């Protein structure tokens, strides 16, 4: 393999830059040329590309976001878009394509692979951690630490005001972020899409806690954004009305996606970037490289979104054991 392309697609995630750096430098050490495709699949279709050498990726390791830029590209879901992408790869003589992103990125990568002509390898990069075939996705560790910094601050004011605080965190359709920050932030309740939410029972549990502790107390309730239509706002309103108490809602939003990656994300990104290049060199493709335990594992692209990654069920029970 002489020339590979690399792109970042979908929601950016801290550590994507570290991953591109690892791809470029490990490829260079094997005399493989790397083309950076800008703005995800949009840039692939439009031919927006730059040549990437080892120096060009200096001082990006510590930067959040993705210096290649990213996009969500509806055109890649159409046969015309796919054909344009394949033709572009051919005309640019790109033999292998490394795509860094989440399930949307891998769906498009699998469709490209099916059309033939290019060997595709995926790397999981999304703050959501909702990709089957890897313990952690690049960006998750940074996102939960970023969210936690805010949650710790919210607790200060929640305690001082003796008030209920509903904090909504990202995660689209899955509760990985909510579960992690809920346990790490000492939340009383964690509300995630994977389990049914009974607002009456939730209100009763919170009420019981109030009574046990002699009146109004603070409580942190972490809500995954994908839980109900209306998210934390809707749940807070229902619970507030049942309990007849004042409450506040905080939406952490996109702050969770930014910032310099943690050491853990930089290490994972570096490992997976190198692994993706090795995978292509060894002639393997049509798969995602991930890490399970401390082993590099290869998962067929299609499995990454058709198979369901399980949550750590022990974390779910923790708030009820650990909150007094
Ligand atoms: O997939 C990453 C993510 O940050 C989700 O957690 C969130 O639901 C979504 O992206 C937000 O997307 P956008 O930035 O397009 O609003």
Rounded to an integer, the average pLDDT of 266-284 is 98
Q: Enumerate the β-bridge partners of residue 4.
A: 34, 96
Q: Tell whether ligand 1 has an atom less than 6 A from the beta carbon of residue 27.
A: no
In a domain? residue 33:
yes
Q: pLDDT band for position 215 (50/70/90)?
A: low
CATH number at residue 147: 3.40.50.460
Q: What is the CA(174)–ligand 1 centre distance, in A?
A: 12
Q: pLDDT band for position 313 (50/70/90)?
A: confident
Residue of 12, 69, 128, 130 with catalytic role:
128
Which tokens sit at 184?
């790490």
- Of 133-147, 226-240, 259-273, the one with minimum mean pLDDT is 226-240
State the closest ligand 1 atom to the C-alpha of 127, by its place in the atom list counted from 1: 2
**Do 131 and 268 sit in the same domain of this protein?**
yes
**Do 267 and 251 sit in the same domain of this protein?**
no
**Do 81 and 171 sit in the same domain of this protein?**
no
Q: What is the CA(11)–ligand 1 centre distance, in A?
A: 6
Q: Tell whether ligand 1 has an atom less than 6 A from the beta carbon of residue 171.
A: yes
In a domain? residue 54:
yes
Q: pLDDT band for position 178 (50/70/90)?
A: very high
Sign of the alpha-carbon torsion through 121, 262, 71, 309: positive
pLDDT of residue 187: 95
**Do 123 and 249 sit in the same domain of this protein?**
no
In a domain? residue 170:
yes
In a domain? residue 196:
yes
CATH number at residue 266: 3.40.50.450
**Do 24 and 120 sit in the same domain of this protein?**
yes
In a domain? residue 69:
yes
**Do 9 and 135 sit in the same domain of this protein?**
yes
Which residue's CA lies nearest to atom 8 of ligand 1? 172
Rounded distance between C-alpha atoms, residue 215 and residue 71, angstroms = 49
pLDDT of residue 226: 85
Give the tens place of pLDDT for each residue, 221-254.
999 998 778 899 999 999 999 999 999 999 999 9
Rounded to an integer, the average pLDDT of 162-168 is 94
Which of 10, 11, 131 best tests ligand 1's pocket when mutated (most atoms within 8 Å of CB)?
A: 11
Which residue's CA lies nearest to atom 12 of ligand 1? 11
pLDDT tops 80 at residue 300: yes
pLDDT of residue 323: 82
Q: pLDDT band for position 279 (50/70/90)?
A: very high
pLDDT of residue 137: 98
State the closest ligand 1 atom to the C-alpha of 172, by its place in the atom list counted from 1: 8
**Do 16 and 131 sit in the same domain of this protein?**
yes
Rounded to an integer, the average pLDDT of 64-89 is 97
SS (H, E, C) the chain: CCEEEEEECCCCCCCHHHHHHHHHHHHHHCCCEEEEECCHHHHHHHCCEEEECCCCCCCCCCCCCCCCCCCCCHHHHCHHHHHHHHHHHHHCCCCEEEEEECHHHHHHHHHHHHHCCCEEEEEEECCCCCCCCCCCCECHHHHHHHHHHHHHHHHHHHHHHCCEEEEEECCCCCCHHHHHHHHHCCCCEEECCCCCCCHHHHHHHHHHHHHHCCCCCCEEEEEECCCCCCHHHHHHHHHHHHHCCCEEEEECHHHHHCCCCCHHHHHHHHHHHHHHHHHHHCCCCCEEEEEECCEEEEEEHHHHHHCCCCCCHHHHHHHHHHCC
**Do 97 and 111 sit in the same domain of this protein?**
yes
**Do 199 and 273 sit in the same domain of this protein?**
no
pTM: 0.97
In a domain? residue 315:
no
Q: pLDDT band for position 216 (50/70/90)?
A: low
Give the tens place of pLDDT for each residue, 9-43.
999 999 999 999 999 999 999 999 999 999 999 99
Alpha carbon distance, N-terminus to C-terminus of the chain: 59
Q: Tell whether ligand 1 has an atom less than 6 A from the beta carbon of residue 128.
A: yes
pLDDT of residue 151: 98
Please name the residue that has the structure tokens 């082993």.
295
Which residue's CA lies nearest to atom 10 of ligand 1? 11
In a domain? residue 131:
yes
Q: Tell whether ligand 1 has an atom less than 6 A from the beta carbon of residue 95.
A: no
Are the CB atoms for 222 and 151 separated by under 8 Å? Answer: yes
Which tokens sit at 106?
């891998």
Rounded to an integer, the average pLDDT of 152-157 is 96
State the closest ligand 1 atom to the C-alpha of 226, by its place in the atom list counted from 1: 8
**Do 272 and 132 sit in the same domain of this protein?**
yes
Domain residue limits at 196:
142-257
In a domain? residue 249:
yes
**Do 95 and 164 sit in the same domain of this protein?**
no
Residue 312 annotated to the active site: no
**Do 50 and 193 sit in the same domain of this protein?**
no
Number of separate domains in the chain? 2
């Amino acid at each position: 393999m002489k020339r590979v392309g690399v792109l970042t697609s979908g929601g950016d995630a801290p550590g994507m830059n570290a991953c591109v750096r690892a791809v470029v430098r490990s490829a260079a050490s094997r005399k493989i040329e790397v083309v950076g495709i800008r703005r995800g699949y949009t840039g692939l279709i439009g031919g927006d590309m730059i040549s990437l050498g080892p120096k060009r990726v200096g001082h990006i390791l510590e930067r959040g976001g993705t210096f290649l830029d990213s996009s969500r590209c509806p055109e890649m879901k159409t046969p015309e878009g796919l054909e344009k992408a394949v033709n572009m790869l051919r005309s640019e003589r790109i033999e292998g394509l490394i795509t860094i992103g989440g399930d949307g990125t891998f769906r498009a990568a699998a469709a490209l692979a099916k059309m033939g002509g290019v060997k595709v390898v995926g790397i999981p990069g999304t703050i959501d951690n909702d990709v089957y075939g890897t313990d952690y996705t690049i960006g998750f560790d940074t996102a939960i630490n970023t969210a936690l910094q805010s949650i710790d601050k919210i607790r200060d004011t929640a305690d001082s005001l003796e008030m209920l605080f509903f904090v909504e965190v990202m995660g689209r359709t899955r509760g990985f972020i909510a579960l992690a920050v809920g346990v790490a932030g000492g939340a009383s309740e964690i509300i995630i899409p994977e389990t049914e939410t009974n607002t009456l029972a939730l209100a009763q549990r919170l009420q019981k806690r109030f009574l046990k502790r002699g009146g109004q107390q603070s409580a942190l309730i972490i809500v995954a954004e994908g839980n109900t239509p209306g998210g934390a706002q809707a749940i807070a309103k229902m619970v507030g009305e049942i309990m007849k108490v004042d409450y506040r809602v905080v939406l952490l939003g996109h702050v969770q996606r930014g910032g310099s990656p943690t050491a853990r994300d930089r290490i994972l990104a570096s490992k997976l970037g190198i692994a993706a290049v090795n995978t292509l060199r060894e002639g393997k493709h049509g798969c995602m490289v991930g890490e399970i335990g401390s082993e590099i594992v290869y998962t067929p692209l299609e499995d990454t979104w058709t198979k369901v990654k399980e949550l750590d069920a022990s974390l779910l029970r923790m708030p009820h054991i650990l909150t007094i």
